[in-house]
Amino acid sequence: MTKLSVNINKIATLRNARGGNLPDLLRTALDCERFGADGITVHPRPDERHVRYQDVLDLQPVLKTEFNIEGYPSDKFMALVMQVKPAQVTLVPDPPGVLTSNAGWDTVKYEHFLADVISGFKSAGIRTSVFIDPDENLILRAAKTGTDRVELYTEAYAREFSIDPAKAVQPFHKAAQTAFDCGLGLNAGHDLNLINLNFFYRHVPHLLEVSIGHALICDALYYGLENTIQMYLRLLK
């Protein structure tokens, strides 16, 4: 079964907007686990505008499911990951100040850079994933970096889904098969939601994990967090 990792960045954004500790990020993460989530994802950015580096340190000893830390492999980020030793680190090519992840890695240009970074994480027993567009050549080159998995950047699928679902999912189906043939595990994330998730799940083979944050937290405002997580889980069966 495909695992659901809940990205809690938006909970931190709401907390930071007012100061204090409402909503409580740690309690929310533990509630997500209690309500059925298979993992927790965070993306600590350099400006700490949502999840802070201290949040990551605080979460590590209390989480019971898989902990996934996303981010650009700066020296500070890499030191944090090596200290926390999560189940998985997802490398994204975000420049400082970007609003949200908006592109996958150019694994042709950055193959050797990624290989060096990944080697260090794997030596510490941390599973690695590379955020990537559904491009066959990029996936083939990602395999050469030594990464364990790739995470398909699904914004294009979400954008085109309402127009032509079959056409929207086609490059992701092909990318999934390429990743499998290369021996890579497959994750996916970005703009997946209650409307488009099940179609993606049914048409993209070998999908191990989806990471969903913004849409899930927005849905929770209407349906409640426990019910929302269960709704997403039902779409992955």
Contacts of 228 (CB under 8 A, 6+ apart): 216, 219, 220
Cβ 44 vs Cβ 69: under 8 Å? yes
Cα gap 78→107, rounded to integer Å: 19
Catalytic residue positions, numbered: 43, 70, 190
Angle between helices 225-234 and 214-223 (to 10 degrees): 120
Cα gap 48→9, rounded to integer Å: 10
- Tokens 């809690």 belong to 8
Distances (CA, A) of 134 to 38, 54, 152, 194, 200: 24, 33, 6, 22, 13
Name the residue type at position 52: R
Cβ 42 vs Cβ 6: under 8 Å? no
Cα gap 237→233, rounded to integer Å: 7
